[in-house]
Amino acid sequence: MSGKNDEPAKSEPFNGTYSPKPILPLKRSRLAGDDTNPSFGTPLQTRVASPCTLNPPIDNDGLSWPSRGARSRIEQTQEEANGREMRIASAVKTILTELGEDVDREGLLETPERYARAMLYFTKGYEDNIRDVIKRAVFEENHDEMVIVRDIEIYSLCEHHLVPFFGKAHIAYIPNKRVLGLSKLARLAEMYARRFQVQERLTKQIAMALGEILKPRGVAVVIEATHMCMVSRGVQKTGSSTTTSCMLGCFRDQQKTREEFLTLLGRH
Ligand SMILES: [Zn+2]
């Protein structure tokens, strides 16, 4: 990796000691207020306006772009949870009936409830709290080379058709004194994938959240995914996939950094 040579002088040389210190609790002020690296504008400053960029990546209570009903899901009692599942199931019965099905035939008997639970699972990412997701995995570390995790499997739901899209996410960043436990990158991708999504927004949200958590020199996220709404409806040929990317900070500003990333992904 040649990331070191591409970059301007670092603010601090590596002092030769390795002492990861967990940073907790993750406070809003720490995430948002004290950007010590002017080369990494916050995503809020570098992206055009959209629902993503108009709202901060992480709310005061740790939720990240929660849906309107996310907090009521989080705070619900068991009884309320049961009621919610029942209402979804009853709506599914309506759908099945309207599709001409007999909801009383054996194969479908418990399908509405099963579907309700499945949908709650597929959208559980709205309820995730970013502090729980990253836990004690933000470390002070003088590593300043590109970190890449490739081939993170993602399963999400297209919000236009409510059918799955799935594929691989590749996440890279160049640290600025903070690194995140590697498994947490996958966890972060999962948090945003388990929602109703469009692939472009999913890509952007992962990048922006990572930017907010680490204040790194740059973040890059590439997602390659297959959309059931495309491949199973004959709009496009089977096997077609969609690639989206989001580059922030030095990945956006410096062609060399971007190229190094794409080379390491094997697409250059
Ligand atoms: Zn779709």
What would the pLDDT profile of 127-155 be if each residue is shown by its tens digit? 999 999 988 899 998 888 999 999 999 99
| Strand (E) or helix (H) holding 256 | helix 255-264
What does pLDDT average to over the chain?
Answer: 84
Q: Does the annotation mark 229 as catalytic?
A: yes
CA of 16 relative to ligand 1 center, distance in Å: 51
CA of 188 relative to ligand 1 center, distance in Å: 23
Q: What are phi and psi of 250, to 5 degrees?
A: -70, -20
Q: Does the annotation mark 170 as catalytic?
A: no
Looking at residue 257, its pLDDT comes to: 95
Catalytic hit among 101, 200, 229, 236: 229
User: pLDDT band at 60, cuts 50/70/90?
Assistant: confident
CA of 51 relative to ligand 1 center, distance in Å: 19
Looking at residue 44, its pLDDT comes to: 44
Measured in whole angstroms, how far is the alpha carbon of residue 19 from the centre of its chain? 28
Looking at residue 230, its pLDDT comes to: 87
Catalytic hit among 80, 145, 160, 255: 160
Catalytic hit among 212, 227, 254, 260: 227
Looking at residue 17, its pLDDT comes to: 42
CA of 162 relative to ligand 1 center, distance in Å: 7
Q: Does the annotation mark 254 as catalytic?
A: no
- Kindly report whether the global pTM for this prediction surpasses the value 0.95: no
Question: What is the average pLDDT across 243-249?
Answer: 96
Of the chain, the percentage scoring pLDDT greater than 70 comes to 78
**Least confident stretch, 29-33, 113-117, 169-173, 212-216:** 29-33
Distance in angstroms (rounded) separating the CA atoms of residues 197 and 62: 20
Does position 54 have pLDDT exceeding 90, yes or no? no
CA of 209 relative to ligand 1 center, distance in Å: 24
CA of 45 relative to ligand 1 center, distance in Å: 30
Catalytic hit among 197, 199, 205, 254: 199
CA of 68 relative to ligand 1 center, distance in Å: 21
Superfamily classification of domain 69-125? GTP cyclohydrolase I, N-terminal domain (1.10.286.10)
Distance in angstroms (rounded) separating the CA atoms of residues 93 and 87: 10
Question: What is the average pLDDT across 28-39?
Answer: 40
CA of 267 relative to ligand 1 center, distance in Å: 26
Domain residue ranges in the chain: 69-125, 138-265
Catalytic hit among 7, 52, 127, 158: 158
- Residues in CB range of 222: below 8 A, 6 or more apart: 169, 170, 203, 243, 244, 245, 265
Per-residue pLDDT tens over the stretch 196-229: 999 999 999 999 999 999 999 999 999 999 999 8
Tell which CATH classification among 3.30.1130.10, 3.30.70.20, 3.40.1380.10, 3.50.50.60 matches the domain 138-265.
3.30.1130.10
